[in-house]
Structure 1
């Protein structure tokens, strides 16, 4: 099997700010696998908070590419590589290859009847007035995901709620609050009708959530990278955010779906701001999710060819075979 790895950079439409970081571009790896005329592709951005870069992911793939062939199973890949962004790109490329080789869509391989999705639109951190303006400009999206830190979070939320009284609001704090701050902000969040607060506390510093009853559902993102961390996260959070970049691919993402459903947790699918090639495998996971965040291409200055179709109402069309799966 021929395996190639390319690095591509995509500028953001506008600088995208979250807790502790401002992103001006998204750098990705594109893995292509090919044999007997069948080609599969997968993309990964990796996880910045794990110090992954396109170069480090490409190096990770160098060490295993000679051990991959057309019959490499999803399970054997998990044994060959640890959880990482590089494994995500390769795992998704192999799923795409299997579909192309079988002459079927991914839905047939996984016995899923797909439905079209409604994605959130993400508002990066800015001044309260700018965030309110961007929320108003995103009127076609019924659901908004709001990036916040510990600086004037309620003022920002109040401005957005005033601009968009109709919207479902999800907060993403990216580890930016303390437990005391969370308890302080929860009453206002509940009053403002926040549907979920994602990763309020720092990874590894959220033991205080065990036994804590929050009036607003709390979601685990950075606190649950993959299956090995699932049980602990399930004791602390109401919602699990599955990102293929962090969990190492569609195979482990679907395993996390099964684990969360068995525990009665709600599910979210998220993204690390990749192109439609990153979103397409996440579209599979999203079939099982209450919260869907696959708006990454909308934040980029341009997407790849044959990208997902984003329609009014936040509706995202099914990925075509020319894109993936």
Structure 2
């Protein structure tokens, strides 16, 4: 007999986290715990208003699946019973972990991937003034960060990137516009950013309004985030982007993330693995998608005032397993 428990938690942040869409001081997460024959599997998701999700809506989705899950619904069957999104992510990851526990193995063994000793992760620079973002970059680099993700809106774009590059001359820099650059002269902006050796620009235009990227030169590779949720989105994005950002809360779990990796390789698109704000419980599952990723952005726990088990270790710009 399988039992399912649902918990809603508010996790305070250690400092404000700002992007083009707003600022947060806490994050609400939902955790699912499955117990079967004395074995436990857990999953965590972060409901995202940008994708028309709330704590209430995701909790309702999970409750609606309770009877089926407790009745033994398999992970494969779950993919057709619940749409992609946060709720399916929590259930999918809980089922992966439950299967691993019942097999008396690790999540890595269950997926069939060798666990690396460590994974380089981005450290995100929250949206702020030029001076404060440069200070944050210098601090991150002093602690060993090798990959910096710069959150930007429409203000002082080049100035912020220039200031960060000045204090982080050897770091890999990626930029995340969070859909904020609609209406800007992108060819001119891309040319202005080129001297600062950006590895990638993420989602410059709003999802659904990015067709124009097909007709603009990409001297800096572009990555689809809000425009790419599941494997079914990937083929249509080839002419607009060079890379996709896979997030478990968007795609609905590790099962779909692994399928997205296969599809991205077929479409000759590069891969990034990202996250919403959340604890190590969420990041640990996403790590299983990282071996074939060019960039990894799983720094959610370092923004929390207090993390949760399994307490991944973050130091020197890496996650240590």
- Give the alignment's TM-score, normalised by structure 2: 0.96
CA distance in 2, matches of 1:247, 1:305: 23
Query: Which of residues 188, 197, 201 is equivalent to 1:197?
Result: 201
What aligned pairs does 1:1-325 form with structure 2 within 5 A after superposition?
1-69=2-70, 71-115=72-116, 116-139=118-141, 140-178=144-182, 180-312=184-316, 314-318=317-321
Greater mean alpha carbon deviation, residues 110-119 or residues 241-250: 110-119
Instruction: Please give the secondary structure, in 2, of the residue aligned with 1:42.
Output: strand
Using the TM superposition, give the Cα deviation of residue 71 of structure 1 relative to its aligned residue in structure 2, in angstroms.
Answer: 4.6
CA distance in 1, matches of 2:95, 2:71: 8
Greater mean alpha carbon deviation, residues 175-184 or residues 17-26: 175-184
Instruction: Please give the secondary structure, in 2, of the residue aligned with 1:157.
Output: helix
CA distance in 2, matches of 1:158, 1:235: 29
Q: Specify every segment of 5 or more residues in structure 1 that has no aligned partner in the other structure, as ranges.
A: 319-325
For residues 69-103 of structure 1, give each alpha carbon's deviation from its aligned partner in whole angstroms, at most 9, with x where no partner exists.
Answer: 47533221011101111000010000000000010
For residues 7-41 of structure 1, give each alpha carbon's deviation from its aligned partner in whole angstroms, at most 9, with x where no partner exists.
Answer: 01111111111012111111000000111100100
For residues 160-188 of structure 1, give each alpha carbon's deviation from its aligned partner in whole angstroms, at most 9, with x where no partner exists.
Answer: 11111111100000000026432221112
CA distance in 2, matches of 1:286, 1:54: 27
CA distance in 2, matches of 1:298, 1:159: 23
Contact 1:35 1:70 in 2 (8 A): no
CA RMSD of aligned residues (A): 1.3
CA distance in 2, matches of 1:297, 1:239: 25
CA distance in 2, matches of 1:213, 1:69: 51
CA distance in 2, matches of 1:46, 1:238: 27
Q: Specify every segment of 5 or more residues in structure 2 that has no aligned partner in the other structure, as ranges.
A: none
CA distance in 1, matches of 2:26, 2:239: 36
CA distance in 2, matches of 1:169, 1:59: 39
For residues 199-224 of structure 1, give each alpha carbon's deviation from its aligned partner in whole angstroms, at most 9, with x where no partner exists.
Answer: 00001000011243300000000001
CA distance in 2, matches of 1:241, 1:268: 5
**Displaced runs of 4+ in structure 1, greater than 6 A?**
none
Contact 2:234 2:267 in 1 (8 A): no
Partner of 1:323: none
Contact 1:195 1:216 in 2 (8 A): yes
CA distance in 1, matches of 2:39, 2:14: 34
For residues 23-65 of structure 1, give each alpha carbon's deviation from its aligned partner in whole angstroms, at most 9, with x where no partner exists.
Answer: 1111000000111100100000022201312222111111111
Instruction: Please give the secondary structure, in 2, of the residue aligned with 1:223.
Output: coil
Q: How many residue pairs end up in the alignment?
A: 317
CA distance in 1, matches of 2:185, 2:304: 32
